[in-house]
Homo-oligomer: A and B are copies of this chain.
Amino acid sequence: MDILKNTIVLIGAGNAATQIGQNLKKKGFVVAQVYSHTLESAKKLGKSLRSDYTNQTDEIVPDADIYLFSVKDSVLPELIKRIKPKNGLWLHTAGSIPADIFAAAGIKRYGVIYPLQTFSKTRAISFTAIPLFIEANNADDELFLKDFASVLSKKVFFLSSEKREYLHLAAVFACNFTNHIYVNAIEIIEKEGLSKELLIPLITETANKIKKLNPKEAQTGPAVRYDRNVIDKQLDLLKNDPEKYELYKMLSEGIYRKSQLPPAENL
């Protein structure tokens, strides 16, 4: 059977679901239906995918080939229970939820397709270069899922639920925590009337650098040099901003500890 002929129901209409839906459509899949508990979200994504849409679990079509769940981790278990037809292959896209969450709800065929990327609704992103980590509970569906995921991306890997948890944890560091650091950096310069644009070449180079260099080698700045003078001056600039002050201290200590220099007892 042509892989593109599989009927897909997309459960969820948030950031990840939106980008997954757009990429499925772009690659020639038909998303038959979009479900979201918010009718407005279901409608918006459904219309853009030319799919039916609903906010009622009992209206979800019972005979799809794939039920693809991309929702908040916290609502997934309850939602699985509420959807009555238990046919087809059930997949979720969550980093930190084991595949066998479906087993508990009596699903026979299930698996995971986890895209290692950050998604926002308004920022279109191609799946072609995004690593997809897959897992299924039987050999046939493993093969099927490999073919299915390979239509979306050139980088498809089998990964256990256990390892996927660590991958997700690393992603939280590499993406969410990094973005939080950007937020702080931009706050500092915007407070001085300077534009965030000024930081873009530095942010881009910092990200590009680690493609080539080991990130410990790539490290620069006052903390890795243990330039106490600069560290003290910069802590002083932050003395009225306890959150940034503590971040600065903890991150500088961390950088120093990971460097090759003697211990940072008095940093």
A residues in contact (CB < 8 Å) with B: 15, 72-74, 96, 116-120, 122-123, 125, 129-131, 157, 163, 165-186, 188-189, 191-192, 194, 196, 198-213, 215-225, 227-230, 233-234, 237-238, 243, 246-248, 250-251, 254-255, 257-258
Contacts and interface: CB of A to CB of B under 8 A. Distances in A.
B170 A186 contact: yes
Taken together, the copies of this chain in the complex come to 2
Contact of A218 (B120, B202, B208, B250): B120
A174 B187 CA distance: 11
Contact of A178 (B118, B178, B192, B217): B178
A89 to B, nearest CB: 24
Report which residue of A163, A166, A201 has the largest number of chain B beta carbons within 10 angstroms of its beta carbon.
A201
B219 A180 contact: yes
Contacts of A192: 163, 166-167
B258 A254 contact: no
A130 B202 CA distance: 8
A196 B122 CA distance: 28
Contact of A207 (B206, B223, B250): B206
B74 A177 contact: no
22 contacts: A72-B225, A73-B230, A74-B228, A117-B202, A118-B202, A120-B218, A123-B212, A157-B198, A167-B189, A168-B234, A169-B234, A169-B237, A173-B248, A176-B219, A176-B223, A177-B247, A178-B178, A178-B203, A178-B207, A180-B219, A183-B219, A196-B210
B96 A234 contact: yes
A246 B237 contact: no
A201 B213 CA distance: 16
